[in-house]
Chain A
């Protein structure tokens, strides 16, 4: 496993280095002199020179890149223009909100899809299967920001059951926190649930048709044993692989959902930093997100290897 994992790890580090290098060039995307754009035309030459120095724009690419990378490794990710606080501190402070949002959305999605997908696979093309297939097909067509707007309208504005915005830390008031996280988590989870259901249904149908499921059936095992042991288990690799992929999607989705529901998480930090053109924070958030995605990919691979050892050989 180590021999299989080492090239994968080196590749992951290579990917992160390239992304770090790209984030160091972000300032040059701006049309014209970045310092002039960030400080405005009233700024003095001295101010602009100072900003260029703090951003490292007065140096070549390699000194700037190595300097930033060195800082990242010892925990110095730069300082936010907007708040004057360290970037890493800002990120870590917002992280719990986003983690809770993503975890809750995945849990909701999983709780929703396992019965749906297994129910569909039980009788392919049956009434239940067709209803679920149609419903997921339609759900796939609704962008998450539309889902969020509709959920707010129905549950917060029209029915008044749940608050539309605002955040209460879990440590202060657990129940109130969950009440406020339901709609955001649903918004993020529904789109993923649709994707998962279709994937798991396919895998489950394949498992239903397999000889081992047939053999279990012939031996007279109960429906439940058949579904859980012989069908859910062999279908789970595709589910785990999906979970790994959706971490990246969920980070992007958190931008929308946190903005929509005013949750003080990583997505909100990103949107704020983009609006204020807070380069150090943008750079930090992009790199942090890349780390999360890469690590999630590695964890997915390890999980897949633990579930099914054959998958080790299949990957390079």
Chain B
């Protein structure tokens, strides 16, 4: 039965009170902790700590996880833990570029379009339409294959695709914020356009963009994984989560750790990013 008390439950489905709030809090700490740990390990890995991800150890072929090789080794005796950490670095770079380039440029363009209106707005709208009509995975694969795969190309093209997404949302948010009293007051007091942008509009827009930023970062990490999984990403010996999963797939029944650990890494990472995104979404309500 649909209980009538539903009509009274106005504060929203979040119910951020009692044991659930504590549960959500633990989730955020765990998610942030995982991402921090991953960042440190990935940085340590590219700085040269741990095993060489490309070194073959023919004494240890297809070894199950042990203390010497935490995630086991593959058919060429390469350390899966070290390869996973280097894969994390590749994913991290893509995520970073998405935040800085996609988020930074996209939000700025969107806010400008929302404030300036007119031709700028129409142009941004059209470019957004074009980008959304493009099947992104196909285009990204095409560009990366034709231009030659490097982690920078991959990161740049994936994050470029997110610019219009941010621009569109930032524009919509700006339109409503621009009519708010504090902006009107600033305008009336004769504040410069720059001041209104940096002091009044951006601080109000940014918190609202955080959930989208998180969703998009998760999407970018998945896109890089998909690209490498298809074999269009980094060239084979270079480790990437998607490529590790694709390589281990053939030996799933005999050496499941080859696939399972990289797959777990990508899933837990996406989950953590999503948990943070959900937190920002609740917070911005």
Contacts and interface: CB of A to CB of B under 8 A. Distances in A.
Given A15-B129, A146-B266, A286 B135 contact: yes
A214 B4 contact: yes
B133 A297 contact: yes
A142 interface: yes
Contacts of B29: none
Interface string B1-35: 11110110100010100000000000000000000
Given A145-B245, A252-B135, A277 B145 contact: yes
Contacts of A282: 142
Given A157-B253, A251-B135, A29 B230 contact: no
B139 A286 contact: yes
Judged by DSSP, the binding face of A is helix
A244 B259 CA distance: 33
A274 B2 contact: no
Nearest to A266: B138
A144 B76 CA distance: 27
A30 B147 contact: yes
Contacts of A124: 6, 9, 13
Contacts of B137: 251-253, 255-256
Interface string B205-222: 000000000000010001
Contact of B7 (A31, A209, A289): A209
Given A124-B9, A146-B245, A214-B7, A157 B141 contact: no
Nearest to B127: A18
A138 interface: yes
Interface residues of B, number: 51
A199 interface: no
A223 interface: yes
Interface residues of A, number: 61
Interface stretch (B98-106, B177-185, B267-275): B267-275
B229 interface: yes
A71 B218 CA distance: 40
Interface string B251-275: 0110010010001001110110010
B142 to A, nearest CB: 5
Nearest to A216: B2
A271 interface: yes
A82 interface: no
Contacts of A219: none
A290 interface: yes
B138 A252 contact: yes
A290 B135 contact: yes
B136 interface: yes
Interface string A139-153: 011111110011011
B155 interface: no
Nearest to A28: B146
A200 B73 CA distance: 44
A285 interface: yes
Given A15-B133, A209-B6, A29 B138 contact: no
B232 interface: yes
A11 B135 contact: no
5 contacts: A18-B130, A149-B252, A255-B141, A274-B142, A289-B134
Given A141-B268, A255-B138, 18 more contacts: A11-B129, A15-B130, A29-B143, A29-B146, A143-B266, A152-B249, A153-B253, A208-B6, A214-B4, A223-B1, A227-B2, A252-B136, A252-B226, A274-B232, A289-B135, A290-B135, A293-B132, A293-B134
Interface of B: 1-4, 6-7, 9, 13, 15, 126, 129-130, 132-139, 141-143, 145-148, 218, 222, 225-226, 229-232, 242, 245-246, 249, 252-253, 256, 259, 263, 266-268, 270-271, 274, 278
Give me the 3 closest cross-chain CB pairs, A-B, nearest first: A252-B137, A141-B271, A289-B135
